């Protein structure tokens, strides 16, 4: 008997064991788990009833109520109905008297509703409360069957009663122990499952944050190099790799990770970076260096990475080197300064034009009158005075051309036509110097939204600069036009002495000139005109071989301005 009862004890733990097996599966759901524990509880209950010990008085001792209660509470209403059907189907064949049938009916009528009412509170309760609920339910079961045992054994004498009660007490104690263990095992598994889920969520969140940080570092236009305490690269973005990797380095950022940081830098060129990272790994204070190399201006910053939970040297977990290329920023700042100067020039021109031109017109008139009334020996002097007055008037006109905010009339016209109109004047100027002019025009050049006077001034200024750059009688000036998908180009190429790199940097500064009689306003005027027409001027030059000025007009922006002007004219008309 005892062997059978011990085997039943292990069988009664099948729901908890099965729950553990189900929980270890990769794919699982709460609904599937509830049905699974219901099926296993039904199988365990049937095995317990089949292996039950029956006394000579007809009373049945087994542990069927353990899987019945556990399966119903964890499996839900569906499991309760399923287990109750099995319970009734397996118990009815062993009921042989009317009294037994009445007792069994009272138990079902009383306990099943009580179990049904306990399912929902049980499933939402804490572990301690679940133990209390299941113990209360089992106490109800044990009290009911204690009364049944007393009823059966009362007719057999005190000795039989004592034996039955002793057996019942032992089995009840084992039942309490098993049902408590089942709840404990299942709840431990559920807590483990909850912890795993929380850990997975935390891990996914951490992984997502790490990926965001990595993407931020990879996409930022600043070079970033991160190392661990051992000096090995843990992260490197493309900007840093392009800044520091030598021509012989064919590794990508992923391949560089895990390598010592010294392999990234050139020992001679990047000595500053090597020293900064080494100091950061030693825990020294952050350092900032401004370095100009290979035509670039770099701001380099290095600092230590620390563990917030530690202190002192033990808190250092690595180092970071951040490199910012501010070459473009410096260029934009210089461009802003140039624009400020041009704005100042424009304001000066607007304020002094009338005050200077009127006296100059009077002076020139009287000088011309004196020239007509003077002798032949004074004519050269008067001519010099009038030429200088004309040159001063031209300087004033250049001042006005630099005013950025003045309104100009534009129309759709061909750049080729404007160039052809200026060609005789440029050719005549070239003939005086013994030079030739070549003109190559693209036949199907799109029309642009232009101001003809300003574009003619632009063409003439660039052409005269090219002619003045060449020695007399040697070389030719080439004028050409080109078109692409989004722009129209005007090229003015000479075969002169070329422009040095130092002069190139100041080429468009007002009042900067390399000519003995130059004003330094010709090229700034050209740039101002180009910018008012949605264009820019690029310069290609090689000393001793010549210079090419390339004026690029943005076709899309020019068309957009023409369309806006047409709509404005229609609205006003």
What are the angstrom distances between the C-alpha of 127 and each of 158, 418, 546? 42, 92, 90
**In this structure, what DSSP letter does residue 357 have?**
H
- Asked if residue 404 has pLDDT above 50, the reply is no
In this prediction, residue 53 has a pLDDT band, given cuts at 50, 70 and 90, of low
Same domain for 158 and 68: yes
Closest CA to 134 of 215, 65, 220: 65
Residue listed under structure tokens 């935390």: 202
Answer whether 276's CB lies under 8 Å from 300's CB: yes
Summarize pLDDT for 31-51 with one digit per residue, the tens.
676 777 888 888 888 888 777
**In terms of domains, do 393 and 457 share one?**
no
CA dist., res. 415 & res. 426, Å (int): 16
CA dist., res. 402 & res. 508, Å (int): 12
542 in a structural domain? yes
Q: Is residue 480 within 8 Å of 359, Cβ to Cβ?
A: no
Residue 406 has pLDDT above 60, yes or no: no
pLDDT in tens, 555-567: 988 888 888 888 8
Residues 32 and 171 occupy one common structural domain = yes
Number of continuous H segments (helices) and E segments (strands) in the chain: 18, 14
* Cα separation values, 83 from 23, 87, 112, 121, 508, Å: 22, 6, 10, 19, 94
Mean pLDDT of all residues in 448-475: 87
User: Which tops the pLDDT comparison, 220 or 520?
Assistant: 220
- Give me the chain's average pLDDT, please: 80
Task: Indicate whether 428 and 522 sit together in one domain.
Answer: yes
Nearest to 532 by CA among 557, 509, 566: 557
Q: Which residues contact 92 (CB under 8 A, 6 or more apart)?
A: 104
How far, in Å, CA of 183 to CA of 486, rounded?
76
Q: Are residues 173 and 31 in the same domain?
A: yes
- Do the bridges between strand 233-236 and strand 60-61 make them parallel or antiparallel, or are there none, so unpaired? unpaired
The count of structural domains within the chain is 4
Mean pLDDT of 165-186: 79
**Which region among 51-60, 120-129, 156-165 has the lowest average model confidence (pLDDT)?**
156-165
DSSP H/E element including 31: helix 30-50
Verify that 434 and 460 share a domain, yes or no. yes
The structure tokens listed for 60 are: 């049945």
- DSSP-assigned letters across all residues of 114-134: HHHHHHHHHHTS-HHHHHHHH
For residues 417 and 544, state if they share a domain: yes
CB-based contact 225:264 (threshold 8 Å): yes
pLDDT at 490: 94
- Shared domain for 475 and 507, answered yes or no, is yes
Residue 141: both structure tokens together: 């079961």
Calculate what percentage of the chain has a pLDDT beyond 90.
8
Report whether 463 contacts 477 (CB < 8 A).
Answer: yes
Residues 444 and 554 in one domain: yes
Q: pLDDT tens digits, residue range 496-534?
A: 888 888 888 888 777 777 776 666 777 888 888 898 888
Q: What are the backbone angles phi and psi of residue 294, rounded to the nearest 5°? A: 55, 40
Q: How far apart are CA 288 and CA 270, in angstroms?
A: 14
Could you tell me if 163 and 17 lie in one domain? yes
**Domain extent at residue 471:** 411-572
Neighbours of 461 (CB within 10 A): 20
CATH code assigned at 94? 1.10.1760
Q: How far apart are CA 108 and CA 119, in angstroms?
A: 16
In three-state secondary structure terms, 568 is helix
User: Rounded CA gap, 379 and 31, in Å?
Assistant: 114
Is position 398 within any domain? yes
Same domain, 36 and 162: yes
Residues 447 and 550 in one domain: yes
Instruction: Give me the pLDDT at residue 185, please.
Output: 83
């Amino acid at each position: 008997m005892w062997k059978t009862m011990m085997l039943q004890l292990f069988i009664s733990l099948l729901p908890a064991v099965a729950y553990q097996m189900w929980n270890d599966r990769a794919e699982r759901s709460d609904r599937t788990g509830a049905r699974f524990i219901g099926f296993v509880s039904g199988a365990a209950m049937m095995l317990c009833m089949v292996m039950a010990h029956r006394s000579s008085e007809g009373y049945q001792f087994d542990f069927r109520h353990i899987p019945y209660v556990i399966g119903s509470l964890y499996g839900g209403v569906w499991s309760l109905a399923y287990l109750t059907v099995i319970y009734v189907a397996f118990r009815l064949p062993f009921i042989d008297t009317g009294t037994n049938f009445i007792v069994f009916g009272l138990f079902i009528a009383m306990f099943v509703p009580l179990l049904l009412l306990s399912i929902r509170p049980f499933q939402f309760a804490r572990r301690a409360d679940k133990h209390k609920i299941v113990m209360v339910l089992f106490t109800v079961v044990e009290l009911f069957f204690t009364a049944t045992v007393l009823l059966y054994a009362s007719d057999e004498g005190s000795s039989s009663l004592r034996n039955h009660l002793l057996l019942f007490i032992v089995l009840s104690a084992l039942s309490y122990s098993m049902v408590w263990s089942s709840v404990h095992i299942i709840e431990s598994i559920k807590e483990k499952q909850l912890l795993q889920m929380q850990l997975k969520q935390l891990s996914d969140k951490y992984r997502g944050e790490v990926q965001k940080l990595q993407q931020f570092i990879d996409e930022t236009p600043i070079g970033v190099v991160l190392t661990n305490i051992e000096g090995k690269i843990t992260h490197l973005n493309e900007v840093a790799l392009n800044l520091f990797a030598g021509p012989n380095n064919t590794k990508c950022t992923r391949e560089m990770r895990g390598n010592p940081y010294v392999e990234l830098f050139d020992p001679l060129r990047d000595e500053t970076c090597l020293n900064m990272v080494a100091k950061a790994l030693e825990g020294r204070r952050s350092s900032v260096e401004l370095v100009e190399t290979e035509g670039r201006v770099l701001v380099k910053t290095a600092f230590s990475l620390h563990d917030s939970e530690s202190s002192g040297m033990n808190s250092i977990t690595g180092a970071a080197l951040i490199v910012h290329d501010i070459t473009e920023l410096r260029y934009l700042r210089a461009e802003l300064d140039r624009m400020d100067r041009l704005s100042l020039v424009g304001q000066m021109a607007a304020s002094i034009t009338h005050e200077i031109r009127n006296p100059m017109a009077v002076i020139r008139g009287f000088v011309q009158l004196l020239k007509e009334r003077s002798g032949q020996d004074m004519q050269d002097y008067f001519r010099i005075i009038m030429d200088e007055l004309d040159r001063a008037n031209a300087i004033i006109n250049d001042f006005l051309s630099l005013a950025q905010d003045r309104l100009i009339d534009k129309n759709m016209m061909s750049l080729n036509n404007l160039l052809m109109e200026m060609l005789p004047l440029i050719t005549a100027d070239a003939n005086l110097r013994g030079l030739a002019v070549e003109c190559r025009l693209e036949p199907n050049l799109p029309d642009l939204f232009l101001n003809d006077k300003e574009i003619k001034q632009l063409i003439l200024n660039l052409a005269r600069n090219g002619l003045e750059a060449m020695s007399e009688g040697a070389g030719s000036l080439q004028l050409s036009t080109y078109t692409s998908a989004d722009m129209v180009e005007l090229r003015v190429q000479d075969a002169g002495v070329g422009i040095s790199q130092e002069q190139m940097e100041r080429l468009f500064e007002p009042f900067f000139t390399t000519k003995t009689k130059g004003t330094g306003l010709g090229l700034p005027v050209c740039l101002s005109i180009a910018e008012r027409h949605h264009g820019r001027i690029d310069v290609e030059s090689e000393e001793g071989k010549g210079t090419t000025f390339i004026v690029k007009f943005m076709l899309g922006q020019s068309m957009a301005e023409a369309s806006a002007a047409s709509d404005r004219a229609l609205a006003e008309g």
